[in-house]
């Protein structure tokens, strides 16, 4: 059953607060380290909006990376410890590369980094300071510029040839423990996101600058989540697509506080892998 045949409004939902981008003069920018004296950590300030987030589990078979910009997949793994960097790189990386290559019918897949997150009450999200915290603002990991630049950054000798074909940046996100009830992931239906909703924002590192999309509020946005995900499930998130033929190119997403989460729910633990996916054209 596709979304076209389903009355979305008939699905169960929760109402939750999502942090969009507040209006800001100039291009928003955020430092990924302590900013220079007198500079704020970020000029991308949050603007909270209460929105319905629909339970997508009942229609999960209808979600498509090319239409909504996300998909739920079954993907059991043999990884014992996601906090062991060597095991993640030596066991998990090859398994995900093979899975994505087959699932997306890709010619090639390259994983270029991963992030482990564990929510700690009151902790700030600091790079290099232990497990990262859930990202609580609506965003897309890449932009039209930075998504293409990833190819030149990670495969410089082949980049000119590779970008002649179709390139995607796909994030594979999964809970480490489950069923996950704390700080679940919300995904925007890409067909409801207008190009002008996406605001290119600088992410400044000590040795380079990246670019992500912050997202302006639009009442047309339609949001989904998958409740009680288990560790053998994963969400594919589209963070960039070089194709400009009408399919969804960018998938906004964010962690959110589910008001129905039990007080004794275990804090969210998750891992995401960011990958370059190549198709010859």
Domain spans of the chain? 15-279
Kindly report, residue by residue over 5-40, the tens digit of the pLDDT: 457 878 999 999 999 999 999 999 999 888 999 999
Q: Would the pLDDT of 1 be above 50?
A: no
Q: Would the pLDDT of 281 be above 90?
A: no
Write the class of the CATH domain 15-279.
mainly beta
129 pLDDT band, cuts 50/70/90, is: low
Q: Would the pLDDT of 4 be above 50?
A: no
The pLDDT score that the predictor gives to residue 257 is 96
2 pLDDT band, cuts 50/70/90, is: very low
What 3-state DSSP class applies to 162? helix
CB-based burial label for 209 (10 Å; 0-12, 13-18, 19+) = exposed
Kindly report, residue by residue over 86-104, the tens digit of the pLDDT: 999 999 999 999 999 999 9
What is the spatial distance between Cα 24 and Cα 26, in angstroms, rounded to a whole number? 6
DSSP assignment of 207-269 equals: S-EEEEEEE---TT--EEE-TTB-TTEEEEEEEEE---SSS-----EEE---TT--TTPPPPE
The pLDDT score that the predictor gives to residue 128 is 65
Q: Residue 241's Cα: distance from chain center in Å?
A: 14
């Amino acid at each position: 059953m596709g979304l076209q045949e389903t009355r979305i409004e008939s699905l169960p939902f929760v109402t939750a607060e999502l942090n969009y981008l507040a209006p800001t003069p100039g291009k928003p920018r955020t430092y990924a380290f302590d900013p220079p004296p007198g500079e704020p950590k970020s000029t991308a300030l949050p603007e909270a909006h209460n929105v319905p987030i629909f339970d997508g589990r009942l229609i999960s078979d209808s979600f498509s990376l090319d239409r909504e910009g996300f998909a739920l997949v079954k993907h059991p793994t043999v990884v014992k410890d996601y906090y062991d960097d060597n095991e993640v790189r030596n066991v998990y990386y090859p398994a995900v590369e093979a899975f994505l290559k087959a699932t997306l019918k890709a010619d090639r897949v390259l994983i270029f980094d991963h992030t482990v997150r564990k929510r700690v009450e009151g902790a700030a999200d600091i790079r290099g300071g232990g497990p990262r915290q859930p990202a609580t603002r609506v965003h897309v990991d890449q932009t039209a510029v930075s998504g293409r630049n990833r190819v030149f950054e990670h495969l410089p000798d082949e980049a000119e040839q590779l970008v002649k074909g179709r390139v995607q940046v796909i994030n594979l996100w999964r809970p480490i423990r489950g069923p996950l009830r704390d700080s679940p992931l919300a995904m925007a239906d890409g067909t409801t996101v207008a190009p002008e909703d996406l605001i290119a924002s600088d992410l400044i590192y000590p040795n380079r600058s990246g670019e992500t999309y912050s997202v302006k509020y639009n009442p047309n946005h339609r949001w989904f989540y998958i409740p009680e995900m288990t560790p053998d499930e994963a969400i594919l998130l589209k963070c960039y697509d070089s194709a400009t033929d009408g399919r969804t190119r960018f998938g906004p997403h964010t962690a959110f506080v589910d008001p129905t989460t039990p007080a004794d729910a275990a804090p969210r633990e998750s891992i995401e892998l960011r990958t370059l996916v190549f198709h010859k054209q």
